Amino acid sequence: MSFTRKVIRRLCLRAHRSKVPTGLLPLSEIKSAVVYVNAVEPYCEPFKLKLKDYFGKRGIEVKIISEFDQDLRTDSDFFLALNPKRCINELYAASSSTARFKAGRHQIGGGIYDLVVSDSEEEPLPMKDAFDAIEKMLINIK
């Protein structure tokens, strides 16, 4: 990637970065959530149904986005990135989100995520397994 392209990306990310303060929130305070997924991962569609069921049971409105969506700027209480690999679209979605609580699979420069669950192996875990780990942590936040 060219130097000019990197500089332009950083300037755009900085210009659109959310100014909302973030921190850990219990599930009881979350009313809306945005989940960033890898849409090309096998079994993504059944996983989306699982996400909708999980958040729906708790009365949380959920929106699922991916790298193919046009509008990545979102407004919610909780932002969750389950994409196993870093990409510019996830970086933009996470940094521009006005969520008060952000969680992801790898920390992004500037400490964007409040909760990070990393893969312990070289091969990234499927989104379902990463969500199971995050789910256990979310339940324990009071």
Domain count within the chain: 1
Whether 23 shows a pLDDT value over 80: the answer reads no
Domain residues for the domain of 8 are 3-140
Whether 115 shows a pLDDT value over 70: the answer reads yes
CATH of the domain at 120: 3.40.50
Burial 72-101 (b: 16+ CB within 10 A, else e): bebebbbbbbbbbeeeebbbbbbbbbebbb
Taking only the tens place, the pLDDT of each residue in 64-101 is 988 887 778 788 899 999 988 888 888 888 888 888 99
Whether 9 shows a pLDDT value over 80: the answer reads no
Taking only the tens place, the pLDDT of each residue in 40-69 is 877 888 999 999 999 999 999 999 988 887
- What's the predicted TM-score (pTM) here? 0.85
Taking only the tens place, the pLDDT of each residue in 132-141 is 988 998 888 8
